[in-house]
Structure 1
Amino acid sequence: MNSELSIAFIGGGNMAAALTAGLAGTVCPASRIHVIDINESSRRNFEALGMSTAAAPDETLARCAVWVYAVKPQNMKEVVAATQPWLRDSLIISIAAGIRGGDLARWLGKDGSSWGRVVRCMPNTPSLIGAGATGLAALPGVSDADRALAGTILGAVGTTTWVDEESLLDAVTALSGSGPAYVFLFIESLIAGGLAVGLNQEQARELALATLSGATRLAAESSEPPSVLRERVTSKGGTTKAALDVFEAAGLRDIVAQAMQAAAKRAHDMGEEFGNA
Structure 2
Amino acid sequence: MATGALWLIGAGNMGGAMLRGWLASPGWARPVTVIDPHVAEVPNGVTLLRELPSGDEQPDILVLAIKPQQLGDVAPLFAAKAGAPRLLLSILAGVETTTLKNVVGADAIVRAMPNLPVSIGEGVTALYSSDADNGARSEAAGLVASLGLVEWVDDEKLFDAVTALSGCGPGFLFRFIEAMAQAGEALGLPAAQALRLATATVKGSALLAASSNEGPAVLADRVASPGGSTREGLNVLDRDEALKALMRATLLAAAERNAELAAAARSG
Which residue is equivalent to 2:89?
A: 93
C-alpha displacement at 1:3, in angstroms? 6.1
Aligned counterparts of 2:83 and 2:254: Cα–Cα separation in 1 = 33
Aligned pairs for 1:18-167 (under 5 A) are 18-26=17-25, 29=28, 32-39=31-38, 42=39, 44-46=40-42, 48-58=43-53, 62-84=57-79, 85=81, 87-109=83-105, 115-140=106-131, 142-167=132-157
Q: Compare 208-217 and 51-60 and name the one that shifted more.
A: 51-60
SS in 2 for 1:236: coil
Q: Is 1:16 aligned with 2:15?
A: yes
Q: Distance in 1 between matches of 2:85 and 2:243?
A: 49
Aligned-residue RMSD, C-alpha? 1.9
Deviation by residue 1:220-248 (Cα, 9 ceiling, x = unmatched): 11111111101111112110111111122
- Find the residue that maps to 1:62 and give its secondary structure: coil
Q: How far off is 1:212 after superposition?
A: 0.5
Secondary structure in 2 matching 1:57: coil
Corresponding residue of 2:211: 221
Identity of paired residues, percent?
A: 34
Q: Using the alignment, how far apart are the partners of 2:123 and 2:222 within structure 1?
A: 29
The answer (yes or no) to whether the contact 1:34–1:52 under 8 Å persists in 2 is yes
Secondary structure of the residue that 1:24 maps to in structure 2?
helix
Is the CA contact 1:36–1:56 (under 8 Å) kept in the aligned structure 2? Answer: yes
Conserved 8 A contact 2:61-2:89: yes
Shift of residue 90 of structure 1? Answer: 2.2
Secondary structure of 1:45 counterpart: coil
Report what 1:175 is aligned to: 165
User: Which one of the candidate residues 223, 227, 232 is aligned to 1:237?
Assistant: 227
Q: SS of the residue aligned with 1:88?
A: coil
Q: Report the AA paired with residue 124 of structure 2.
A: A
Partner of 2:264: 273
Deviation of 1:201 (Å): 1.9
Secondary structure, in 3 states, of the residue corresponding to 2:57?
Answer: helix
Task: Say whether the 8 Å CA contact 1:4–1:28 is kept in structure 2.
Answer: no
What is the TM-score with the length of structure 1 in the denominator?
0.90
Give TM-score, length-normalised by structure 2. 0.93
Q: CA deviation at 1:16?
A: 1.0
List alignment gaps of at least 5 residues for structure 1. Answer: 110-114
Please identify, of 93-102 and 249-258, the stretch whose mean Cα deviation from structure 2 is larger: 249-258
Q: Which amino acid aligns with 1:21?
A: R
CA deviation after TM superposition for structure 1 residue 31, in Å: 6.8
Q: For residues 201 and 58 of structure 1, do their structure 2 counterparts lie closer, same or farther at Cα, with a shift above 3 Å needed?
A: same
CA distance in 2, matches of 1:210, 1:26: 28
Where does the alignment leave 5 or more consecutive residues of structure 2 unmatched?
none
- Equivalent residue for 2:188? 198
Flag the 1:61–1:32 CA change in 2: closer, same or farther, 3 A.
farther
Q: Deviations over 1:166-210 (max 9, x none)?
A: 111111101000000110000001110111111112221221111
Q: Distance in 1 between matches of 2:60 and 2:110?
A: 14
Partner SS for 1:207 = helix
The letter of the residue matching 1:49 is N
Tell me by how many angstroms 1:81 deviates: 2.4
